[in-house]
Copies of this chain bind each other. A is one copy, B any other.
Amino acid sequence: MIRTVNLSDVVIQDEFFLHYANLVRKEVLPYQWAALNDAIPGADPSGCIQNFRIAAHRQQGNFVGMVFQDSDLAKWLEAAAYSLTAFFDPELQKQIEACIDLLEQAQGKDGYLNTYFTLKEPENRWKNIRDCHELYCAGHMLEAAVAYYCATGKDRFLQIMCRYVDYIGTVFGKKPGQIQGYPGHEELELALCKLFDVTGESRYLQLAKYFIDERGQQPSFFVKELQTRGDTFHWEGNDTYGLQYFQAHLPVRQQRDAVGHAVRAVYLYSGMADVALRTDDEALRQSCCALAESIMRRQMYVTGAIGSTLHGEAFTFDYDLPSETAYAETCASVGLVFFMKRMLLLEQEARYADVMERALYNTVLAGMGLDGKSFFYANPQCVYPKANEKNPSRWHVKTRRQKWFACACCPPNVARLLADIGEYIYQLQNNSVTVNLFIGSELKGEGFVLRQSSALPYGGNLRLTAEGEAAGQLCLWVRKPYWTTEIRCNQPYTEEKGYLVFAPGAAQGGGIEIEFALPVRRVYGHPLLRDAAGKVAVMRGPLVYCLEQADNGENLHLITLPRDATFAEQPGQGVLRNTMLLTAIGQKEAAGGSLLYSYGQKETLQPWPLTFVPYYTWANRQEGEMTVWVRE
């Protein structure tokens, strides 16, 4: 059976991603730790650690923050645990252990562990599963516990969470007196599968399967729950969301279209894939495939972002991908990476890795500033700052990254993915290794060590070498990336499911050398993608590029890129050092004139030098316009 690798078996040696691993370690984790402790001047206070201290009877006070505030600590703990795996840091471990002390003391005798309901609304525990994120927070804390256990072998945190999950298992179910329900915000499902993997306890997989199976059954649990509590909502405005928002409109095995809140959706689909893999559930697998197609083929921005509307932070409908009013939440692309990783296990087709790579190199990285200290929630394809300031339908789109959000889901989500990136590069099956991402690294397998060196995302050279007693039997499946036009290789290969398949032992000795041609390519949207009509995007390798005002002046909508324009590569400067920019000669309309509407051909096009920067680097200089799609 195909399986994922352990993070501890992968050492990242890639310049590009080591930079991010170090950023997470040296900047993001300390910064977010300070944020969780309300120690960032000028940022909204988190209250997160304080809530646990109050719940642990270490200090007096009131709960601060959102109903899901605990999950910020959980995601930080998870990221810290991953970071610890690569870079052992006794200080960081001490911080984590201190948090575990807090968790232990904040946990109820019955195992319950949630500061909001412990401190603020103890009478309402399990009363509003739909809106109140109790199971979501449990899921994130569980993922952190599993990560810490895998990183250190210490099981105190894991035991805390097992107690909590065992308690949850008594609360939810089909027996009399139990709540026959499922999470309002999916997350626990996939976390339970991780817990099953490390403990081997089938009750955890069964609980995950129970939640998956119950979701969307009729009569609707959410509708019944809402009636029971007298039609009250935790969130103002939540009454306008239908069951689709929660992916609870249909039993999951009947779902074929990705709908509703995008983060919820991809977390659910990840959990579905996890359960399908572990239970060999064909109907569930088919749903996962259809839902993946729904996203990949019809509802994904070119940057790998998902979620077309602020309203419900949700999918809308096929090919509806507005550039300026996009929600395109960072967390949703993090979740898309999770889902694609699982689709690779289910289907072993390289195209899922293509999408994983697209989301990772573009939206996930764009979600964090190059300094690791500022973050985007929404990731638009086009901004015109005056509109974002003055037109309320654009207010959710920021043109500068923020320090920390009142609802701080995205920053720690980026951190935990980047700290865990080693788990996404390879997959194992018998004596085969699948290479899904081109990230320089060393993989320790059973009887072999595989080394990958890669010049991505800016260069196309790849080398794979294997050593060890099993290296002679080792068969490599190397993803054939969608963005290359030509492949040169020192070894013969066949192609299967989107992979270059090499003969056993090919990576021994001098290894496999591959050169992926990496030309600048023009990308066109599907004809039904209305905001891309008549426009072109620019990609080189996995990177989507964009125009920024800093290089190209204001009024980017007046720029056209001629069909025959050629591109030149140019190393970035200043904050963009270590990146590759692209230049071309475009055209720009003059912006003058006093008439709002005029007759006749007005344009005076003039040649205009254009500089494209990688989308993930946008908004790291002065505030200004940006666009991915350019008129052609």
A592 adjacent to chain B (CB < 8 Å):
yes
Count residues on chain A whose CB falls below 8 Å from chain B CBs.
57
Complex CA gap A316/B598 in Å reads: 22
CB-CB under 8 A from A365, the residues of chain B are none
Q: Mark A548-574, 1 if CB is under 8 A from B, else 0.
A: 000000010110100100000000000
Complex CA gap A386/B308 in Å reads: 14
Q: B393, B524, B528: which contacts A310 (Cβ < 8 A)?
A: B393
CB-CB under 8 A from A308, the residues of chain B are 391
Complex CA gap A308/B537 in Å reads: 28
* Smallest Cβ-Cβ distance to A591: which chain B residue: B527
A523 adjacent to chain B (CB < 8 Å):
yes
Q: Can you tell how many copies of this chain the complex includes? A: 2
Q: Are B597 and A392 in contact (CB under 8 A)?
A: no
Segment of A76-84, A91-99, A293-301, A336-344 in the binding face:
A293-301
A613–chain B nearest beta-carbon distance, Å = 19
CB-CB under 8 A from A598, the residues of chain B are 523-524, 526
Given A310-B393, A597-B523: A558 touches B529 (CB 8 Å cut-off): no
Q: Are B390 and A316 in contact (CB under 8 A)?
A: yes
Complex CA gap A594/B529 in Å reads: 12
* Smallest Cβ-Cβ distance to A319: which chain B residue: B596
Segment of A18-26, A223-231, A599-607 in the binding face:
A599-607
A64–chain B nearest beta-carbon distance, Å = 23
Which secondary structure dominates where chain A touches chain B?
A: loop
Given A317-B386, A392-B311, A393-B393: A526 touches B597 (CB 8 Å cut-off): yes
A68 adjacent to chain B (CB < 8 Å):
no
A559–chain B nearest beta-carbon distance, Å = 9
A593 adjacent to chain B (CB < 8 Å):
yes
A629–chain B nearest beta-carbon distance, Å = 11
Q: Are B390 and A599 in contact (CB under 8 A)?
A: no
Q: B386, B522, B537, B558: which contacts A600 (Cβ < 8 A)?
A: B522
A534 adjacent to chain B (CB < 8 Å):
yes
Q: Are A597 and B525 in contact (CB under 8 A)?
A: yes
Complex CA gap A317/B388 in Å reads: 11
Q: Are B524 and A317 in contact (CB under 8 A)?
A: no
A533 adjacent to chain B (CB < 8 Å):
yes
A616–chain B nearest beta-carbon distance, Å = 17
Q: Are B296 and A631 in contact (CB under 8 A)?
A: no
Given A322-B391, A530-B557: A523 touches B599 (CB 8 Å cut-off): yes
Q: Are B526 and A593 in contact (CB under 8 A)?
A: yes
Complex CA gap A311/B394 in Å reads: 11
A520–chain B nearest beta-carbon distance, Å = 11
CB-CB under 8 A from A300, the residues of chain B are 596
Complex CA gap A525/B595 in Å reads: 8
Q: Are A392 and B596 in contact (CB under 8 A)?
A: no
A441–chain B nearest beta-carbon distance, Å = 28
Q: B320, B592, B599: which contacts A521 (Cβ < 8 A)?
A: B599
Q: List 7 A-B contacts (CB under 8 A).
A: A317-B387, A325-B393, A393-B393, A524-B600, A525-B596, A526-B597, A528-B591
Given contacts A524-B598, A533-B631, 10 further A-B contacts (CB under 8 A): A297-B594, A310-B392, A316-B391, A320-B390, A320-B391, A523-B597, A524-B601, A529-B596, A533-B558, A534-B534
Residues on A close to B: CB < 8 A? 296-298, 300, 302, 308-312, 316-317, 319-320, 322, 325, 384, 386-387, 390-393, 521-530, 533-534, 537, 555, 557-558, 560, 563, 589-603, 631
